[in-house]
Amino acid sequence: HGKALFTGLDAVVRLIPAQPGTGIVFRRSDLPGCPKVVAKTENVQESIRTTKIGQGEAFVQTTEHLMAALFACSIDNLIIEISGPEVPIFDGSSLPFVEIIEKAGVLEQNSLKNVYTVDIPCHFSAGDTHLVALPSHEFRISYTLHYPQSPYLNSQYFS
């Protein structure tokens, strides 16, 4: 249970184990029929400064910290029941989600996992946003943030 960053709404989030092959699925318990929103790239919707996924009229935003925690904990089959349109922000990191997951425990499933690899360099650009994926034998993400208009953020890099 926590407060959302952009909407300011309180939201309750329940993490429910799911069968192998389910993937990550949000279920909006606050909407009629509890519509589902599958966390897949084709369901990403345009938004500013937040990750928003949607299917039909249902959407969930500010999913990035929870999704990072799920990846860090190797969780790939889960129903996320949420009582509002936005995941709580907590302290602005993934740590509160990781702590909740570690406290509850993770159910190991006896099934094959799809693993996607980058075989050739690829890139995407939109305005001043640029993403580049390069083949590698290790998992590595490098990020450069550049806000020349901000006296506080300036340029930052992390890998």
The string of pLDDT tens digits covering residues 19-30 is: 999 999 999 999
CA distance 51 to 15: 19
Q: Give the predicted TM-score (pTM) of the model.
A: 0.80
Kindly indicate the confidence band of residue 152, based on its pLDDT and cuts at 50, 70 and 90. Answer: confident
> What does DSSP assign to residue 130?
E
Instruction: State the pLDDT at residue 99.
Output: 96
CA distance to 1, 52, 54, 97, 100, per residue, from 104 (Å): 15, 26, 28, 11, 6
Six token digits for residue 119: 């075989």
2 and 10 in contact (C-beta within 8 Å)? yes
CA distance 67 to 84: 17
Average pLDDT value for the chain: 92
Indicate whether 115 pLDDT > 90.
no
Six token digits for residue 123: 């890139």
Amino acid letter at 108? Answer: E
Indicate whether 145 pLDDT > 90.
no
